[in-house]
Structure formats: structure tokens, C-alpha cells
Chain A
């Protein structure tokens, strides 16, 4: 019963934070510096790990598909499998998981630390709403940067698949043939679906991590607990939302 109450309270406070933050959307132009800083944090600093992970996801996907497809002699369709899988599912989900692990944890730690060391209380006494200064620029930056990361993830994943397809003996498909099949079966709508998913996941991850950070109570030990909670809740939400968003978009 206690856990259900905690979940409902968490949902309620997240919703309240969302409404308050949206209310401050008009202040974005004069918080341009903070917005750019958050774009840098969410986008630029996450890019290398997104690229590395996407490259190997694309590579492994091609390798596994090649291994299975050789039995049927259908290796030439690897491009379509990698293309669609990366664009519709693996690209947005993996980017969202990375954003949760790298950006969400950092947000939760920073805001929890500000709460524990009374910096958030100081903002309130200065009549500066934390939702305006700490949350809104992060949400706006997530809306801009996470789809960009997902798109780069898609491209790098496709490239990884092409490399493996060329240099693996059991597949041996030239990049021209790989990309021709990929282009034929992967449509703009598929890529767009993935970007919409990434947009939703990224926004939810940042919102949830902000809320958990700002609701931290107690001493420094609670900062670590908040970070763990933020990442776990984000991962669960990504996978649950993935099912429903896929249902809606399909």
C-alpha cells in the first residue's frame, strides 16, 4: 500500500512539475544561456557514447542476421533488417537508455545535491521558481537534442552494419547493395517514428529525473539514492512507454 501511495505521489508531483515548467516556457528566450548549456550537456557530451554504442549495435545486428539468413540465402536483405530495426526501435530506445544513464543521472545528482545543500530553498526564498530556472531549460534542450542524437545513432548504426556486411565472410555484401536495400525498405516515416519515440522518451527521462532530484530529502546519502531511483524509474518508463508509443505509431 505504501509503495502504491509513493508511486501515485511521484506521478502527481511529476505532473505538477510538468505543468509548472510549461507555464514558464515563455521565459526561454531570456534563459538562452542556460538552454544552450543544457543542449551542450545533453547533446554534445552524450554524442561519443551514442556513436560507439550505435556502431556496435548495427554491427552485431548485421552479424546475427547474416548468421541466421545464410541458411536461407537471404543475406542481401540485411540492409532492410538493420535499417528498420535501428530506425524504428533500437536507435530511439538505446539513445533514451544512454540519456537516462548519462544525462538523467547527472541531472538527478545535481538537483538532489542542490536540494540537500539548501540551494533550492535559497531559490524559493529569492522568489525564483526552481521549475523556471532548473527544469524548463533542461526540458527544452531535451526536446531539441534527443531526436538529433537518435538520428545520428541511426546513421552510425547503419554504417556499422554496412562495414560488417562487407568484411564478414558469411555475408560479403558490398555497401552499395546494402544501402540500396536499406533505402528501398526503410522509409522516411520509419525514421520519423523513431525520432518521435526518442523525443517522448528523452522528455520523460529529463522530467522524471528533475522531479526525483528536486524531491530529495535528507542528507548526502539521499543524493545517491535519488540518482539510483531516477535511473531505474527512467529505464522502466522507457520500456513501458515504448510498447504503448509503438502501438500508437504503428
Chain B
């Protein structure tokens, strides 16, 4: 972690205080299904917090609470001290979520995907928007893709375009939902490097939801592990190298047992 609590705007270089996130006793039910059970943790301004857990453990649902797309059944999520679900918070704090699928607008070119936010919020004239978009594409080494459409891009490029689109929003808080899923190991490492570089250069508070062990061990300041909706680990990645908890150890380095395969022990 850089140790400073100011986020630097990638376009204007102006520094503003970095934001923190607090999750307090968060519980979320979908009907009778309990997805999150009394989850509490805090993300410090400027740190990279990686939230890990197996598929279906509630990681993405938790991320949606932070960005205000879901409302808690009970408990509270605050961003920079304000209720995450409030529209005022979204106006006050620049948050950008990089979706697992990228969620690029398929009917728009890469350039227009990036230009949408500044255009809709009238942040600059067309020349200023062009400068900003091209700068964001350059940061992510995507200059040649401006005229392409999302359907013409590879999986790795889509993720990078999604990160560039998030960057154009001049975020104080960057959230990534499974940024390395469906990517080959080299591209996964590239995306991890991008996330770490953006934090180093601009000191953006970063929350990454992933089950990529390498990403967590290499770039996280702290890691949380969510299992069946409960937070079972919270600490620095160094503690994950030799975890004491057997459940955490099994999640991070599952042993193969072909005589007693796991899938035969799963509940239906």
C-alpha cells in the first residue's frame, strides 16, 4: 500500500481524499435463501482489498451492495461514510464497477463506450472527451481498438476496455467483479498487473472480487474469504501462504482425490 490517502485523477492529476468502505453486519436474503450472513469488514482508503470465495458464496452480491445495485435485508454498507444505496452517494463519490462480463454496450463502438459517461454528465466538450478517451485507451494499451465494436474484441481486450471505461469515470473507488475469470494465465497476470498499477499510480481504493489465488497473493493488501455467506478469513495475503484454518487451506489448494471425488459428496 502506498501509505497516502489521496487519489490522483488520471486526467487532471488533481489529488482528492481517497475513500473507504465499511460493511456492517450485512445480511441479504433472496426469499428463503440466505446469501450473506452478518458480514462485517472495512476497506481502508487507497488499499487493494481482494474478496475471495467459491462460486455461489455471495461475493458478487456483496459487491452489488457496495455499488448500490442491491439493498441489504439488514445491516449497512457505507462508502466514504455515506449510505451506499443512496443516489446522493453515487453523485458524491465516483465509483466504477468493472463487471465480470465487461458489460460493454454492444451497440456502441469502444470509443463511444468510453465517451458515454463524460457525454451524459456533460463533463467536457467533444474535443475534451476525445482527449480523455484516447488517454484512457493509451493507459490500457488499447489505442487501436477505438473504432471496433465489443463483438470484435477478445475476452482479455473486453476486460481492458471495461477497465478503461471505468477509468474515464475518474473513480475514487474501483470495484472489479471476477476480472480474471475466463482468461488464460498470462492475460490473468496482465489484468492483475493493471489493477495493481492503477492503484500505485492513482491510489484508487480498490475492491476485487475473485477466486484467483495468484491475483490475491500478488496484489492484495488484505484478503477476505467468504464461504456460504460468512466471512471466514480477514487478513494480509501473507497469512494465506500457510493458512491455519483447514477450510481456507482446502479452498486455496484443494487436494485431488480421484478415489473419493468431491462432486459425489456435494449436496444436490
Contact = CB atoms under 8 A, between A and B. Distances in A.
Contacts of B101: 117-118
A118 B90 contact: no
B69 A127 contact: no
B52 interface: no
A232 B13 CA distance: 54
A121 B69 contact: yes
Contact of A121 (B96, B103, B104, B106): B103
A37 B120 CA distance: 17
A119 B116 contact: no
A117 B103 contact: yes
B120 A128 contact: yes
Interface string A108-138: 0000001001110110111110000100000
Contacts of A119: 103-106
Contacts, number: 44
Nearest to A126: B117
B195 interface: no
Contacts of A118: 99, 101, 103
B95 interface: yes
A125 B84 CA distance: 11
Given A118-B99, A122-B99, A125-B67, A133 B120 contact: yes
The DSSP consensus for interface residues of chain A is: helix
A128 B120 CA distance: 7
B169 A126 contact: yes
What class of interface size applies to chain A in its complex with B? 10 to 19
A125 B103 CA distance: 11
Given A121-B69, A133-B120, A127 B91 contact: yes
Interface string B93-110: 001110101011110000
B112 to A, nearest CB: 11
B120 A126 contact: yes
A54 B101 CA distance: 45
Given A121-B69, A133-B120, A127 B103 contact: no
Nearest to A113: B106
Nearest to A127: B90
Contacts of A133: 120
A128 B105 CA distance: 13
A43 B60 CA distance: 41
Contact of B95 (A121, A122, A125, A128): A125
A128 B121 CA distance: 8
Contacts of B117: 126, 128
Nearest to A110: B107
Contacts of B91: 127
A124 B85 CA distance: 12
Contacts of A124: 68-69
Interface of A: 114, 117-119, 121-122, 124-128, 133
6 contacts: A118-B101, A119-B105, A121-B64, A121-B103, A126-B120, A128-B121
Interface of B: 64, 67-69, 87, 90-91, 95-97, 99, 101, 103-106, 116-117, 120-121, 169
